[in-house]
Structures are given as structure tokens and as C-alpha cells.
Structure 1
């Protein structure tokens, strides 16, 4: 493998992981919790203030969310970001706000709603997706009360969260739902067919590979019947009319090609899109090498794109 030089030593020390994370989901959840523990911070931390609440869900359920506000924010409505954690639709940072959600809040000056949707295998599609859509509608309807600007609401997420973010944009367009200003799709899983060269090529058991992604889709999707584009956004026939996008991919990620292809299709449909591919890096490498320059540069790149997209509009047109 063409591993990035900054990551070679980290990868050499990684042990193989199970090819079916769903088989022992409690062990998988515990393992991910241990991986993320050094970066997790509960409650306020001086830069970000955190409020815990729930949002009415689509099935009479209550969806837990955290509302993050930048400390010392200037008066006036803030841009808002619905952040959706990753974790194969089956695990994630459930003890508090995702570190990535905190980064979004602190670095972009946005109000962030960090949503904890229902997970598989207990709740297959569409439960988690509809939870996220309910929270997006709640955020839009309550923007003024929350101190957010309803014209500057973005969605963002990594991996499964990137899938759900892309799906929310499709649903909001199709259902006449909230206006989404920007979509940040980080290493997104988008296509359950797994027919791309990168999906077939990446088989190393130490990180996310074809087998792990196949097990994820098999648990997430109901058996039989057509696959909804709200489950696998790459199946959408029409990508026109969607919000501007940022798509991050990694060279050693089985999901790389479907992410790049989705970005290409967005562009061909007239949607402004920025892409960033990180050669020699694997899926969620930042969690395994958080102190590497590569992780810092990659995080800075997508945060800058999101901050720029949500900046307050100019008082006068550039042409003036």
C-alpha cells in the first residue's frame, strides 16, 4: 500500500479488527469509545458551551441532542450546523458531543446541534435517517429562539454521518423541507453496491475495508425491495437543486471512489462542490493519528471550507 509517510509508523502498530463490527456490537461500541476517549470532553470547556436536550422524533421517540455554542460569541444570529456523527450507523460518540462537532463550533463560530440518532442493528433504516430529518426541521423552525440564522443552516458529518447529511439534503429538496445552505460530506458512505475499484481494492483488516462496509450496509438496509436514495444517496437519479458541497475522501478508504464520483455528479448537476482527497490515508485516520500534521491539515481544510460557506453575506454585492 502507498501509505502516507506520516502514518506509516501508526499503521505498523495497529492490530487487525473484525470484519463484521455488527456481530458483537457491544464490543464494537466499547472499542470505539476507547479509541475516542482521549479526545472526548463532556460539558463546557471554556471554548464551547454545551446544553443537553431532546427533540421530538418521528415515531413518538425523543431524539437526544447537544446544542453547542461558541463561548463569547458576538451578538446576533449565528450560523448553524447540524452535525451527525459517524460509526457505521451502529456506534459513535454517544457520551457527549463529537470532538468534530466541538471543532465546528469553536472554529467556525457556529451554533452546532449534535444529534444522537437511533442506531442499528436495533433500528435499521429509516429510523436513524428520520430522526436526523426531524432534528433538521426542528432546528430550522426554532432558529430564531436558538439564536441561529435560518438562512445559514448547514449539515455536516463523517462516514455514516456523511451519508445521512447527503440524504438530508435530498429529502429537504424532495419534501419541500428546510433550506440547507451547505453540506459537508467527510469520508461519506454513499453507495451500498460497493462496485467501485477502491471498494474492491481496500481489504486490509486493520482499518475500514470492503468486508466491514458490506456488514454495515447489510445491517442498515431492510432486506428485500428497492434501496431508497435516502439510505444510499448515490442511488439518487437527480442531484440538481442541492446545496453547495464539500467532499473529503482518503486514498486508502474503500469509500473513496464513491465519494469522488458523487462530487463529480454534483458538479455535473450544477451544484458548486469542493473536493479534497488525502493520498495514503485510511478511513478516519485522524482518530488514530490525531497529533500528525496530516490530521491537523486535513481538519483545517474542511473547517475552513465550512466557515467560509457560512460567513455572513456581504453588505453589498461584489460587483458594486
Structure 2
């Protein structure tokens, strides 16, 4: 009887999870994408995972967040004979340190890595392969920061943990064989958001060495306009669908997702802020070649003061670094920005690139013509889920790091 019940529940879960998948928008993968079928299959299993997570939570087996974290963590890699790997704490923040075993003359560069996951997912374990790769390929000391996750630890705990870890590492760099003048911070997706925010937080610190560079891998950088060309063109492209982007962001801020429709229309931005932010967040600043796949200017909707009050925290530069003041942007370190053509966040990166360059900040830009959100992370997760664009992105990042 017990076995029969388990089989019945398993079948029920599968069918309900499939129903969840078919209730949601289908993937809109461009026909010119060379690995189109592979991405579609990956999208199917990803949506299936989201559906299964919801069902398991409703059945009281586990929470949706916990299940998705387990899936993202994956199977840990085998021991690496080329690296010394040690778990430490920088103040109260968990970190994992990767040091090449090969001897070297002088001090190495240091890299702090802030993982993605919208402040709710991801971990040191999930990014184990990424950090090992950067350490081996660039002969660098890499610190993977295991910042605390929402909802248990609400925003902006994640930024605060990364800032704490960065300051500790900068002050004690020589203890780890690192040159304090060669420290780079790096992150993907929401980790790229944190990277930009940490770099901004350090511009006025005279008690610390200046960061050598910041690496932003398809970062989320603004919440003023969710109808930029990249949002219109890539709203259904896996893995970061337009609706999923805002829904996860609102959950990260502990906001009700019922406000999504108004935010998509821009009703959350008061007129005075619209005037201020249009200097920095404006589709007119997106080069024409990024509009050829289609773009329609947004229709202006009435502003809702109630919606603004609910969404006000979205205008914190820690959450949206693109709207930081000019006085901060002008003092930032050199940057590497990676964007993907088929990513809703593509234009965030393009606009930040323009802001930095307008202030004379050197930017190395890598645009993956067949890239999509998450492709760099997937590149080291095995051939079944890796894509050509991800491998290209990894190599471009390594080439940049070797010059630092």
C-alpha cells in the first residue's frame, strides 16, 4: 500500500507540474539561434522544475525556494588537484578561497565572486566550477562569497555581506598572497547588480585601495523602464522571461507581485523621477542595431502615487545601480560588461556602458550575439546544458582578467 501511494503521488506530481508548464507562456526562441532546439528543451525542464517546486510546497514536502536551491546547487565536482580550497569567514560572512598550487613570483591578483540567483538562490557550491575555472585559468586567488539569502535574510543583507567580505579582503589581501592594487570584483545576473553596487559603495573610501576593475555579467541594473527594446524583443526567451524577471525581483524586495502590471506600464515612476532618470534610462540611447528585431515606444500611463509608495525601494541604487548619481559613476573603476543579444537585461548593460564611458571610465564590452541569460553559468555544468555562447563568454572574461 505504501509503495502504491508513493507511485501515485509521483505520477500526480509529474502531471500537475506538466500542467503548470503548459499554463505558462511558451518559449519564444528566435529562429536564427543555432542551438534553438537545445535551449527549448532546457526551457521545458526549467519550467517543469518551477512547477514541481510549487507542487512539493503545496504538499508540505518542502518549500519552493529550498527545492530550487537544491536543483541549482547540482552535483559537486571532484577534488581539484591544481588548487588549495578552504572555507573561511570574512567577519561573519562565509567565503570559499581558491588558491593555485603552482608557485609564482610576486603577489597574485585577487577576484571576489558574487553569485547570481536574485538574492534568493545560488550558493558557493552552485558556483564551485565557475570559481575554480577562473582561479586555474588566470592564476588568481578567487574568493566566492556565500552571502545570506532572502527571504530569511531580507534585502539588502546580500549587498551588505558582499561589501563586508570585499572590505575584509582588501584590508587583508597580502595574507592571501594578493596584491591589494589588483583586486577585481565580479558577478553574474543579480551578482552583477551587487558587483556594481559594491563598486559604487567604495568610491569614497580613502582607507582602502582602489578596486582594479569590476566585471558585470548580464547584470540587472534598473527598474525604471521594463519596456526597453531588449524587454520587448526577448520577453519570452529563456531562461529569464520578462514576467519572471519582475516577479523574482519583487519577491526579493518582499513586495506583492500584484503590482506587476502597473510597474510594467511605468505607473510606479513619478513625473519628477521620470525627468531625472530619462538622462540615463532612455531607449534613445540604445544603438539602432539593437532595435532591428522590433521595438515600439511605450505608451505613457498615469502615475500611481500608491504604486510608487509600494515600489519606492526599487529606486535604491543598491538595487538599481544604473540610476546612481553622476558624482559616483565618475569615480568608478575600469569595467568589463558582458551582454547577451537574447536577454531581457541586455539594454541595462548597454545603458550602463554608455554612462561609464560618458564619464571617461574605460569599458571592455563583450556582446554574445547568440547569448541568453545564464549562458556563462551553464557553460561549466556539462555538455547537456552548456552552449557555445557561454564558452565564448568565459574565454573573454579570462582574457580580460589576465590583463589586470
Q: 2:83 aligns with which of 48, 61, 72?
A: 48
CA contact (8 A) 1:85 1:161 kept: yes
Matching of residues 1-320 of structure 1 within 5 Å:
1-2=29-30, 5-14=33-42, 15=44, 17=47, 18=50, 24-34=64-74, 37=75, 40-41=76-77, 44-56=79-91, 62-95=92-125, 98-176=128-206, 177-193=208-224, 194-204=226-236, 206-221=238-253, 224=310, 225-226=312-313, 227-238=315-326, 239-288=329-378, 290=380, 291=383, 292-308=387-403, 310=404
- Structure 1 residue 266: Cα displacement: 0.6
Gap change, CA 1:96 and 1:64, over 3 Å in 2: farther
> Hey, what's the Cα distance between the residues in 1 that align with 2:227 and 2:150?
23
- Structure 1 residue 276: Cα displacement: 1.2
- Structure 1 residue 206: Cα displacement: 4.2
Aligned residues: 298
Task: Calculate the TM-score normalised by the size of structure 1.
Answer: 0.85
> Hey, what's the Cα distance between the residues in 2 that align with 1:64 and 1:3?
43
Q: Highest relative contact order (Cα 8 Å, sep 6+), 1 or 2? A: 1
Unaligned runs of 5+ in 2: 1-28, 55-62, 256-309
Gap change, CA 1:53 and 1:261, over 3 Å in 2: same
Task: Calculate the TM-score normalised by the size of structure 2.
Answer: 0.68
- Structure 1 residue 212: Cα displacement: 1.5
CA contact (8 A) 1:221 1:231 kept: no
Unaligned runs of 5+ in 1: 57-61, 311-320
Which structure features the higher share of helix residues? 2
> Hey, what's the Cα distance between the residues in 2 that align with 1:159 and 1:11?
19
> Hey, what's the Cα distance between the residues in 2 that align with 1:4 and 1:130?
42
Computed over aligned residues only, the root mean square deviation of the Cα atoms, in angstroms, reads 2.3
Q: Which of these two proteins has the greater Rg computed from alpha carbons? A: 2
CA contact (8 A) 2:88 2:94 kept: yes
